[in-house]
Amino acid sequence: MERLKGKVAIVTGAGSGIGAATAQLFAREGARVALADIRLEGIQGVARAIETAGGEAMAVQTDVRSADQVREMVRKTTERFGGLDVLVNNAGVRASHSTVVDLTEEEFDQTLAVDLKGVWLCCKYAIPELIKSGGGAIVNMSSISASIGQPMQGAYNAAKGAVEVLTKCVALDFAKHKIRCNNVNPGWVRTEMNRVELEEMENRGGKPWEEVLRLHPLGRVGEPADVASAVVYLASNEAAWVTGASLYVDGGYCAQ
Ligand SMILES: NC(=O)c1ccc[n+]([C@@H]2O[C@H](COP(=O)([O-])OP(=O)(O)OC[C@H]3O[C@@H](n4cnc5c(N)ncnc54)[C@H](O)[C@@H]3O)[C@@H](O)[C@H]2O)c1
């Protein structure tokens, strides 16, 4: 049975990695999907792949840092598909590896603008449409970084930590409208965000790669599909009584 049959979803950052895998699985589960990303090429490719497989998708170039563009993303989605049921806030960037002393103000602001403000803006403009639909689900792509400190990642971890709590506030504010809001918290996943770094470590082998595997007791890093399945669960009616929660999809990273 298709678990998202009849639902309309927006997936941000859908042009690559976890977002692309999520959008494609959503379509296979029966959802009609608006693919939003700052880069058009990726989402056009994902839209073509979904349509070739018999699904329905629309690419909407969107910078989640811009209120105007986010408003337009929601408008185009409801205009095309007639409503909105699910928002997946997945677009994200990682700052360079640096201590809080070496981090520039510009990089701090840019990281928070995408990873935190972008989530808020998408909630702000999507929630009124979810209310019109009689309820819905928001899934925020958080991270293991939301709940632990990691060296040289102050801006990214602070942004993800803030999203973690924002999720709980949204869950409380809109529970009466039957809107659920949850986090997915991946460990290290093989995507463009860290592909080069992971490949270099894996090819070199030795201690650094052994350490990556030790951090993930299931003995491998994640693949986008591992995370997409968790997003489908939280977006679907199977999670009807789950809100304000964080689902760790991390190969056991945070169990240690
Ligand atoms: N890869 C990992 O190890 C990992 C781990 C935990 C959490 N995450 C989170 O998963 C999410 C997806 O990341 P990914 O690993 O698939 O990386 P990715 O780089 O493959 O995908 C991120 C996507 O977000 C888009 N994006 C960036 N800035 C944007 C903006 N301003 N507006 C709209 N779109 C924008 C990019 O164009 C890209 O398509 C991110 O929120 C990331 O923080 C990733």
Q: Of the residues 139, 193, 201, 226, which should be mutated to test ligand 1's pocket, given the most ligand atoms within 8 Å of the CB?
A: 193
- 45 in Cβ contact with 56 (< 8 Å): no
d(CA 97, CA 111): 12
Domain locations along the chain: 8-187+223-250, 193-221
CB within 8 Å of 184: residues ≥ 6 apart: 139, 140, 141, 142, 227, 230, 231, 234, 246, 247, 249
Q: What are the distances in angstroms from CA 126 to CA 90, 132, 155, 181?
A: 14, 10, 26, 12
* Residue nearest atom 8 in ligand 1 by C-alpha distance: 143
- Work out the number of other CB atoms within 10 angstroms of the CB of residue 182: 25
Locate the ligand 1 atom nearest the alpha carbon of residue 189 and give its number.
3
Per-residue pLDDT of the chain (256 residues; tens, 9 = 90+): 899 999 999 999 999 999 999 999 999 999 999 999 999 999 999 999 999 999 999 999 999 999 999 999 999 999 999 999 999 999 999 999 999 999 999 999 999 999 999 999 999 999 999 999 999 999 999 999 999 999 999 999 999 999 999 999 999 999 999 999 999 999 999 999 998 899 999 999 999 999 999 999 999 999 999 999 999 999 999 999 999 999 999 999 999 9
Q: Which helix (H) or strand (E) holds 248?
A: strand 246-249
Return the CATH fold of 8-187+223-250. Answer: Rossmann fold (3.40.50)
Ligand 1 site, residue 251, Cβ cutoff 6 A:
no
The ligand 1 atom at the shortest distance from the C-alpha of residue 94 is 43
Nearest CA to ligand 1 atom 36: 13
* Rounded Cα–Cα distance for residues 188 and 223 (Å): 9
**Ligand 1 pocket check for 13: Cβ under 6 Å:** yes
Q: Is 233 designated active site?
A: no
